[in-house]
Structure 1
Amino acid sequence: MYLGPNLGLTILRTRHSIRKYKDDTVDEKIIQDALDCARLAPTARNEQPWLFGVVKEKEVLRAIADLTDHGRFIAGAQVCFAVFGKKDEKYYLEDCSAATTQLILGLWAYGVGSCWVAGDKKEYAGAVGELLNVPDDYTLVSLVSAGYPADVSVAGKKDLAEITFSEKYSKN
């Protein structure tokens, strides 16, 4: 289904990290739609090596926030998604990163802001898995805090000309 050039590009161009959230509850339909977007992400050999957790209980959100090194704001989110990848799959990191991106974009399509918090190779990855009772054959790839934005401040981005090249890279 083609939505036209503007809607999709608007979602992609306006999405940015949100770390402060309103107290408004995120509707279950939005959560399920965002999870469905994640589920439909591209994956090497169609392995789909992921497991998605959804956390809404304030005590658990606080516990996850306390475990992280740069995710204290998770405690103030309305929901946190935990994306786990099956350790023995060769491309779990790439696949789960694609799923995380689609999850985030699915949320933003409804105006729900989010912030990707790293999980892969972080010291707290195992502790988050234990807290959420995830089987040992999965590892944390990402945490995504989400909620309706309370504060919208957008960081500047580099100019396209600064970060692109055609054919072969040249410093000139």
Structure 2
Amino acid sequence: MSPIGGTVNLAVTVIRSRHSVRKYKDTPIEEKILKDALDCARLAPTARNEQPWLFGAIRNRETLQAIANLAENARFIADAPVCFAIFGKKDAKYYLEDCCAATMQLILALQSWGVGSCWVAGEKKEYAEDVRTLLNVPDEYTLVSLVPAGYPEEVQIKQKKILDEVTFFERYEEEE
């Protein structure tokens, strides 16, 4: 049963079970899972249906190490079986929102297959241009996010705030 009532559906289960994973088993991810996750990202909603994105799936160990060396807080990318790179077309007005929606759909699709991941920032990071250049992505795109992924070796679950702490209905009112 869901805490709100009714039966919990698969989407809710996938969303509630997702946590950032930074330690992965050295097990390759099947091609069909990679393609399914990329397909789910491609189907994300976009403003004006622009679809201003380009998705990369990087599995080459040397390239993963190079990305890890660039991303100062994400050295664990080097140990992931795959790292997805999500790029947005710079001239699209809502590329950031669109690519963030695609990133989340990719992450949830991976989770539905039991593949853990971690959203690593790309937008506004000093290494964004270097990653774009490393991956030979055209200049019209900018890095929005990196998503290293793999079967979890270790999951560290952080406590989340309770629903009442982060929600309001109709109008926000301070408690006295």
Please report the TM-score for the alignment, with normalisation by the length of structure 1.
Answer: 0.97
Structure-2 residue corresponding to 1:24: 27
> Which residue of structure 2 aligns with residue 60 of structure 1?
63
Q: Does 1:160 align with 2:163?
A: yes
One-letter amino acid of the structure 2 residue matched with residue 12 of structure 1: I
% identity of equivalent residues: 66
1:133 and 2:133 equivalent?
A: no
Name 1:11's counterpart in structure 2.
Answer: 14
For the pair 1:35 / 2:57, whether they are aligned, the reply is: no
Per-residue deviation at 1:7? 1.1
Runs of 4+ aligned structure 1 residues displaced above 4 Å come to none
Deviations 1:136-170 (A, max 9, x none): 00000000000000002200000100011111111
Q: Distance in 2 between matches of 1:8 and 1:95?
A: 20
- Give 1:5 deviation, angstroms: 4.1
- Give structure 2 stretches of 5+ with no counterpart: 1-6
Matches within 5 A, 1:97-108: 97-108=100-111
TM-score, normalising length: structure 2: 0.94
SS at match of 1:150: strand
Mapped pair 1:76 → 2:79: yes
Distance 2:160 2:8 in 1: 22
Counterparts of 2:131 and 2:14, CA distance in 1: 30
Whether 1:88 aligns to 2:108 is: no
Take 2:105 and 2:169, find their aligned partners in 1: how far apart are those partners?
27
Mapped partners of 1:14, 1:171: distance in 2? 31
Residue 6 of structure 1 deviates from its aligned partner by: 2.2
SS in 2 for 1:126: helix
How far the C-alpha of 1:8 sits from its partner, in A, is: 1.1
- Alpha-carbon RMSD across the aligned residues, in angstroms, is 0.8
